[in-house]
Amino acid sequence: MILCADVTIGKHHYVATRPPGVAFILNRQEFICQLAADAEKRGVIIRTNDKIQSVEDLDGDVLVDASGCPSMVKRELNLGSGYIGKTYQETLENANCFSCDTIRIMFSRFGGYFWIFPRNPEKNEVNVGVGMFGDSISNLREMLREFKEEQRITGTVNYVVGGLIPLGLQRPFLYRNILFVGDTGVGAFPFSGQGIYRALMSGDIAGRCIAQNNIKKYPSIIRKEFTQWDVMGSLFIKINLVFRKINPVLFYHSLNFFARGGNEFELLSH
């Protein structure tokens, strides 16, 4: 359970609190295992070793692509996509920066941000990572090493993950009988990098449309739920890609402008 969001933008510091039962960190691996076990009890057939070489290998009345970023299906069908960012994250045990109910986000003047999220309180475990907007060629691993030194973060690395992250809506949401959910459809929100909540929402919407035998309704519901935030996120990315080329310090000015608007911390809790 998360009760506090601690955000640093240059020399400015923002803190937002949430009441109990509103904001959470989800253990994705454990969640997926529980979800799969529940699905099998309901008669779902799960095959984990299938090697899909082509969209033509997929057969069904309705297909749901939740393959992440980049989507194999969209690449093969030459379908468009939106903005893409890059991330690198380390999981640390016995971390001296562990705080069980607080997430920390520190924006970098180079057009990205660092984060420290609690993971397992039994091990004082945290996820420490860095994400960059656009087609940055920065060495994220080196950036994170320097960040850990600056913040004097210590702990034992037990897991490393990294890759591409879709920023904002990734159109189309429906192609023929294929629904795109999660990172292949709604992506992550550029301000906070938040993606799991959006993925869960899109999966729930897709499931309801399939159950109602009306998958054509899926894109309009997605647009209704996410377009407002996507317009803000897209504007944020466009502005800061330009600022990064002119003067990286301008990135901080735009962030503080958005933050003073009063919506940033509302976004962090959604």
Residue 268 pLDDT greater than 50, yes or no? no
Q: By the 8 A CB rule, do 111 and 121 touch?
A: no
1-18: average pLDDT: 88
Q: Residue ranges per domain, the chain?
A: 4-26+60-245
| 263 confidence band (pLDDT: 50, 70, 90) | very low
Q: At what angle do helices 250-260 and 218-246 cross, to 10 degrees?
A: 140
Give the residue from 183, 186, 138, 140 showing the smallest Cα distance to 161: 140
**pLDDT score at 12:** 82
Instruction: Quote the DSSP letter at residue 121.
Output: G
| 183 confidence band (pLDDT: 50, 70, 90) | very high
Q: 3-state class of 123 per DSSP?
A: helix
Q: Which two tokens stand for residue 74?
A: 């969209």
Residue 114 pLDDT greater than 50, yes or no? yes
Mean pLDDT value across the chain: 86
Q: What are the pLDDT digits (tens) for 133-182? A: 766 667 999 999 999 999 999 999 999 999 888 888 999 999 999 999 99
251-262 burial, b at 16+ Cβ within 10 Å, e below that, comes to bbebbbebbeee
**pLDDT score at 89:** 96
pTM for the model? 0.82
- The contacts of residue 248 (CB under 8 Å, 6+ apart) are 109, 110, 111
Q: Which CATH superfamily is domain 4-26+60-245 in?
A: FAD/NAD(P)-binding domain (3.50.50.60)
21-50: average pLDDT: 91
**pLDDT score at 51:** 81
Q: By the 8 A CB rule, do 93 and 126 touch?
A: no
Q: What are the pLDDT digits (tens) for 60-94? A: 899 999 988 888 899 999 997 778 888 999 999 99
Residue 4 and residue 15: Cα distance in Å, rounded? Answer: 7
